Amino acid sequence: MKLLNLVIEKSEAHGVLRDIALQEKIHLVNAMTEINESNFKLKVDEDLIEEVKGLCLIDNFTEKKDYKKIQERLYKLMDYMGLERVLDKTLLDEAHDFEGLETEIYSIYDELSEIRQRIDVLEQEKKDLDSMDIINGIDEDIDFKKLCNLHFFKVKFGILTKENMERLTKNYDNIYAAILHIGRKGHNEIYVVVSLKELELETDRILRSVYFEEIKLLEDYLDRPSNMIEKINNRMMFIDQELEGLRLEAQSYHEKYGKKLMVCYAELMLELQIEQMKKLLAVTNNYVYVTGWVSESDTEAMESYFQKYGSKIVFGVRDVSDVTLKLSPPTKLKNNWLFKPFEILVNMYGTPAYDELDPTSFVGLAYMLLFGAMFGDLGQGLLLVLAGYFLKRKSEDYGGILMRIGLFSAVFGFFYDSLFGYEHLISKIFPEKLFIRPMENMNSILIAGVISGLGFLMISYVYSIVNKLKKGDIQEGIFGRNGIVGVVLFLSVLFFVGGSFLNLTWVPTNLLKVVILLSILLMFIREPLANKLKKKKRLYHESASEYYVESGFELLETFLGMLSNTLSFIRVGAFALNHVGLFLAFHTMASLIGTITGEVTMFILGNILVLGLEGLIVLIQGLRLVYYEMFSKYYTGDGMAFAPVAIENIGGER
Amino acid sequence: MSNVRRFAAVNTKIKSMVGKLLTKEDYQAMVLLKTESEIFDYLNEHTYYANIFKDIEDEAYTIANVEFHIKNYIITLYKKINCFITGNYQKLFRLLMKRFETEDIKAYLRALILGQDISEMYLEFPNSSFYSKLDYRTLSSSSDLSDFVECLKDTIYYKVLKLYLNESPDRMLFYMEMNLDRVYFSKLSVEIAKFKGDEKPIFEILQMNIDFLNFQWIYRGKKFYHLLPEEVLNYTLPNGHFLNYETLKKLSYAEDEDELFDIMSTTHYKKLFQHNDRTELYLERDMDRYLYKHFLRSERESSLNMVTVVTFTHRLEFEMRDLFTMIEAKHYGVSSEELKEYLIRVI
């Protein structure tokens, strides 16, 4: 990552921002904070003095353009012509003058004004008629035409909730209006309110206080309810036909203006994006300041790209090491196709910090192996692959993960000799020597789980040491429990214990004792030791006694942790057994039933249950091992993802 | 037993917070001070508020800024309390907190109706995300009243606010404020009713609040806004404690405020209406004092339940309002004796 600083003459600012949005290579940060942190450094030549002087009067970008009007009209036109709001970025290759486009859209809008108005009128009528739909629920046969044309009385028609009607009834003796319940539709109670025209104002206010929802009845349709419904339906049909015709007419403009509208739409999205970007800029009277992160490989390309603006732009690039600590660079994860989907698992925990190793490939490998070992079944594994393939259309990452772990499950399943829970089936085709069945090799499976766990832990230690030393953290990186001393201690204890249990004579127990004691001592005094090495004056960040008490407990926890971390991996073997065990139960049940149908039902039921329940558990357990046993050792994940500015299809979300 | 598990932690937390409230001595000392800056100094030297003001620069001790800090401090306390409550009780607490949302909306409406600029108003509510799902920035960007109401489209307030958009400006605010409260308190009643049995004291507090709200609406609606009796009656909330429908109906149809007070002096709240010609002046204070006393009593009587939480939120709010009263009073040179009369807490 490199930090890019740009000073642009205001006249060119729009063009540069446009380029940035189209390039999709710059992760913008707030230029104001940048300047305040005095990170904003440029190569200053004599002739740039004016630009730099301008920095004295900095402000945020306050100019705001209002795109509401054009947006509304453009969307309307697109709807009329049946254009979908998709963003075609290739239309932006050639620069268009947005203001020009705007006037063009307005003129198209005017050109279509006749059709437009007719559509609007009809749609409004349709809406009104739709709301009149409630007359379906009227039970009484009332002649609305007569009722609504009374000379001294005003009639209102609408909906009132039961609760509010009760309120009115309680005080009915004081209300100068007749309120009649005439029907119900769904949850809506329908009422007619008749009051003297002179008292209309008072009645209105009272009705409003009970949230009466008036429904306007259109003059032309007043009649008995059944006749009204018929009239409305007829009219609706007519409106629909009419609208259809008008839409066809509007679509005939499609050819003429379709392209133009799409271009305008893309440009509009770009302009809206630029508005967003402006929030991150700083401006002075004549210049605009932009700050952003660029990945190292793109830096030169960007520099040469902006050359085209010549002297109107000043370009400054700085290395990460040169930037103050307050501003941490974003992280761009780079992984090959095999491990790419697992980035989502890493990001779920936290994005790696910039100076941290990206653990994705390790996570991917570990997760695939762990899942495969715990859930080894050739048939079900292949089913998972299939499920992953379909899921991929919905979610690229999750589908990808499912396919990969399914594949590993199938591979392990092959060697476990397990097909949909049936053992000894695959081995009929292949030579016996290939297979290791969990149930028949219980101990070796459990031990293999622990040993593979040790392997994963060792790799985690390596990650931890590299990460910590990269940060210059000697205290934890060398003397910490997840540092070099920690590994030495872990391995010595392992060999010591292993040696004495298995009576291995080649293990130098005396030497190990010395190493263990020495490591414990180093860990115990790691903070003062590290500070001494760094030649810091203060040896402890708290009082010495507090430190040693804490350190003592940490040591205890370290030993407990070693034990629990290692044994935790027994579950890998245990779940492999579990898988077979569950099927054993189903086979027993099937043989108890004894019929073919029973066998088939049990086979299907068993497979569904195991795939659903155990599959889910193993999915979680695998994640737990990765997050808890491994990540807690070496991973902080407090970074920020690299998110370059890109145009978003805002209008497309409806 | 389960209440010990549920409320032991939050009650302890609240006990420690109660310890930080102002004492009677603080009140007595502050009432005698001369200017608002002396009050700020007192708060800084003798009370917990020093911690709240520590980020304020010397020249920034304006009344508005101090009030802003106190308000936000209270919300940070609520945020802490929120962490100690679980399950349905947390839901209830969140709903109690929603009160701030309605108050904020009222502030926006007031500003809009008065034609003030609201584009930066969201800065006044930095903690809004705690009690509201609304995006205050968007609210601030609305250009006029109807635009603002449209921003509330998906909320429970939308329907009632929209009804009054065409009302005359001098009445609109009253209608809108009343209906916001109405919507909020109806929702609160529904939620609290779900806690049948063990939370009776909370329901009582709510019911008294409803009584006072109903009375205030009737009083203001009749006196200042000339609402129709039928209308006013319809706006009152059901489920009051001592004011039933019949009383409310009588109140709504009262001829003038004297009759209002007469009717009220036949109810449980008669004590509040015995100042004769000064009833009006002290009415609000007396209602608050009444509730304050009630809270202190129910807090003493209750043990390990939600009442402690609800009571504390009210005590905190009363203290804040008293503080504001003191600061304002000093600013406008109200005498110490007179000021005492305006405070909710009796000293």
**For A58-90, what is each residue's pLDDT tens digit?**
666 655 667 878 888 888 888 878 788 888 878
Contact A206 B253 (CB under 8 A): no
Q: How confident is the model at residue A389 (pLDDT cuts 50, 70, 90)?
A: very high
Residue B210 or residue B62, greater confidence: B210
pLDDT tens by residue, A153-174: 888 888 888 888 888 888 888 8
pTM for the structure as a whole? 0.63
Q: Residues of A with CB below 8 A from B229's CB?
A: 174
Contact B234 A206 (CB under 8 A): yes
Whether the pLDDT of residue B5 is over 70: the answer is: yes
**DSSP track, A374-437:** HT--HHHHHHHHHHHHHHHHH-HHHHHHHHHHHHHHHHHHHHHTEETTEESSGGGTS-GGG---
Contact A174 B159 (CB under 8 A): no
Chain B: residue whose CA lies nearest to A202: B228
Give A324: exposed, middle or buried? Use CB within 10 Å, 0-12, 13-18, 19+: exposed
Separation between Cα atoms, residue A175 and residue A503, nearest integer Å: 101
Q: Which of B163, B228, B249 sits opposite A211 (nearest CB)?
A: B163
Separation between Cα atoms, residue B167 and residue B219, nearest integer Å: 20
What value, to the nearest 5°, has the Cα angle with vertex B168 and ends B163 and B174? Answer: 70
pLDDT tens by residue, A484-505: 999 999 999 988 888 888 887 7
Asked if A473 is an interface residue toward chain B (Cβ–Cβ < 8 A), one would say: no
B152: which residues sit within 8 A by CB, 6+ positions away? Answer: B105, B134, B158, B161
Whether the pLDDT of residue B105 is over 90: the answer is: yes
Chain B: residue whose CA lies nearest to A172: B230
A386 forms beta bridges with: none
B306 close to B202: Cβ distance less than 8 angstroms: yes
**DSSP track, A497-565:** HHHHHHT-TTS-HHHHHHHHHHHHHHHHTHHHHHHHHTT-S---SS-HHHHHHHHHHHHHHHHHHHHHH
Q: How confident is the model at residue A562 (pLDDT cuts 50, 70, 90)?
A: confident
pLDDT tens by residue, A422-473: 888 888 888 878 888 888 888 888 989 999 999 999 999 999 999 888 888 8
- The secondary structure element, H or E, covering residue A304 is helix A296-306
Q: Residues of A with CB below 8 A from B230's CB?
A: 171, 174-175, 206, 209
Interface test with A, best of B234, B245, B249 (most A CBs within 10 A): B234
Contact A208 B163 (CB under 8 A): yes
Whether the pLDDT of residue A366 is over 90: the answer is: yes
A304 close to A298: Cβ distance less than 8 angstroms: no
Q: How confident is the model at residue A138 (pLDDT cuts 50, 70, 90)?
A: confident
Separation between Cα atoms, residue A145 and residue A417, nearest integer Å: 83
Separation between Cα atoms, residue A89 and residue A648, nearest integer Å: 10
Mean per-residue pLDDT of chain A: 84
Cα of B218 to nearest chain A Cα, Å: 13
Contact A210 B233 (CB under 8 A): no
Instruction: Name the 3-class secondary structure at A638.
Output: coil
What does the pLDDT average to over A400-424?
89
HEC string of chain B equals: CHHHHHHHHHHHHHHHHHCCCCCHHHHHHHHCCCCHHHHHHHHHHHCCCHHHHCCCCHHHCCHHHHHHHHHHHHHHHHHHHHHCCCHHHHHHHHHHHHHHHHHHHHHHHHHHHCCCCCCCHHHHCCCHHHHCCCCHHHHHCCCCHHHHHHHCCCCCCHHHHHCCCCCCHHHHHHHHHHHHHHHHHHHHHHHHHCCCCCCHHHHHHHHHHHHHHHHHHHHHHHHCCCCCHHHHHHHCCCCCCCCCHHHHHHHHCCCCHHHHHHHHCCCCCHHHHCCHHHHHHHHHHHHHHHHHHHHHHHHHHCCCCHHHHHHHHHHHHHHHHHHHHHHHHHHCCCCHHHHHHHCCCCC
If contacts are CB pairs under 8 Å, which of residues 359-418 in chain A contact chain B? none
For helices A396-416 and A570-593, the axis angle rounded to 10 degrees is: 70
Asked if B228 is an interface residue toward chain A (Cβ–Cβ < 8 A), one would say: yes
Residue B107 or residue A114, greater confidence: B107
Contact B231 A206 (CB under 8 A): yes
Of A37-51, A308-322, A498-512, A618-632, which range is least confident?
A37-51
What does the pLDDT average to over A538-549?
83
Chain A: residue whose CA lies nearest to B253: A174
Asked if A540 is an interface residue toward chain B (Cβ–Cβ < 8 A), one would say: no
C-alpha B80: how far from its chain's center? 20
What does the pLDDT average to over B114-143?
86
| % residues pLDDT > 70 (chain B) | 98
Separation between Cα atoms, residue A288 and residue A51, nearest integer Å: 10
What does the pLDDT average to over A48-67?
62
Short-list A533, A522, A528, A529, CA closest to A546: A528
Whether the pLDDT of residue A216 is over 50: the answer is: yes
Q: How confident is the model at residue A43 (pLDDT cuts 50, 70, 90)?
A: low
Separation between Cα atoms, residue A405 and residue A371, nearest integer Å: 6
Chain B: residue whose CA lies nearest to A205: B231
Helix and strand tally (H, E) in chain A? 26, 12
A242: which residues sit within 8 A by CB, 6+ positions away? Answer: A118, A122
For helices B200-223 and B279-301, the axis angle rounded to 10 degrees is: 170
Terminal-to-terminal C-alpha distance of chain B:
39
Q: How confident is the model at residue A371 (pLDDT cuts 50, 70, 90)?
A: very high
Contact B230 A209 (CB under 8 A): yes
If contacts are CB pairs under 8 Å, which of residues 100-159 in chain B contact chain A? 159
Residue extents of the structural domains in chain A:
2-61+279-322, 124-242, 334-470+570-582+612-638, 473-568
Chain B: residue whose CA lies nearest to A208: B163
* Phi and psi angles of residue A423, each rounded to the nearest 5 degrees, phi first: -90, 165
What does the pLDDT average to over B84-88?
84
CATH topology of domain A124-242: Alpha-Beta Plaits (3.30.70)
Q: Residues of B with CB below 8 A from A66's CB?
A: none
Q: Which of B159, B160, B228 sits opposite A205 (nearest CB)?
A: B228
Structure tokens, A69: 């009007």
Cα-atom radius of gyration of chain B, to the nearest Å? 21
Structure tokens, B40: 């700020």
pLDDT at B228: 87
The size of the A-B interface in CB pairs under 8 A is 34
What does the pLDDT average to over B18-34?
89
pLDDT tens by residue, A175-199: 888 888 888 887 888 888 888 888 8
Cα of A303 to nearest chain B Cα, Å: 37
Separation between Cα atoms, residue A179 and residue A154, nearest integer Å: 12
pLDDT at A39: 55
Whether the pLDDT of residue A654 is over 50: the answer is: no
> Mean pLDDT highest for which of A48-57, B63-72, B96-105?
B96-105
Q: How many residues does chain A have?
A: 654
A156 forms beta bridges with: A193
A333: which residues sit within 8 A by CB, 6+ positions away? Answer: A343, A346, A351, A352, A358, A360, A641
Contact B163 A175 (CB under 8 A): no
- Residue tagged 């992953």 (tokens): A388
Structure tokens, A200: 């209309």
Interface test with B, best of A179, A208, A213 (most B CBs within 10 A): A208
Asked if B160 is an interface residue toward chain A (Cβ–Cβ < 8 A), one would say: yes
A263 close to A96: Cβ distance less than 8 angstroms: yes
* Phi and psi angles of residue B72, each rounded to the nearest 5 degrees, phi first: -70, -30
A417: which residues sit within 8 A by CB, 6+ positions away? Answer: A423, A424, A425, A426, A427, A435, A437
C-alpha B62: how far from its chain's center? 23
Which residue type occupies A592? L
Of A26-40, A556-570, B294-308, which range is least confident?
A26-40
Q: How many residues does chain B have?
A: 347
What does the pLDDT average to over A625-634?
85
Q: Which of A174, A175, A209 sits opposite B235 (nearest CB)?
A: A209
A98 close to A271: Cβ distance less than 8 angstroms: yes
What does the pLDDT average to over A504-511?
82
> Mean pLDDT highest for which of A22-36, A118-132, A250-264, A303-317?
A118-132
Q: How confident is the model at residue A110 (pLDDT cuts 50, 70, 90)?
A: confident
A86: which residues sit within 8 A by CB, 6+ positions away? Answer: A649, A652
Whether the pLDDT of residue B161 is over 60: the answer is: yes
Whether the pLDDT of residue A255 is over 90: the answer is: no
Q: What is the ipTM of this complex?
A: 0.80
B168: which residues sit within 8 A by CB, 6+ positions away? Answer: none
Whether the pLDDT of residue B331 is over 60: the answer is: yes
Separation between Cα atoms, residue A105 and residue A136, nearest integer Å: 43
Whether the pLDDT of residue A321 is over 80: the answer is: no
Cα of A67 to nearest chain B Cα, Å: 14
pLDDT at A60: 62
Asked if B226 is an interface residue toward chain A (Cβ–Cβ < 8 A), one would say: no
Whether the pLDDT of residue B280 is over 90: the answer is: no
Chain B: residue whose CA lies nearest to A64: B141
Q: Residues of A with CB below 8 A from B249's CB?
A: 170-171
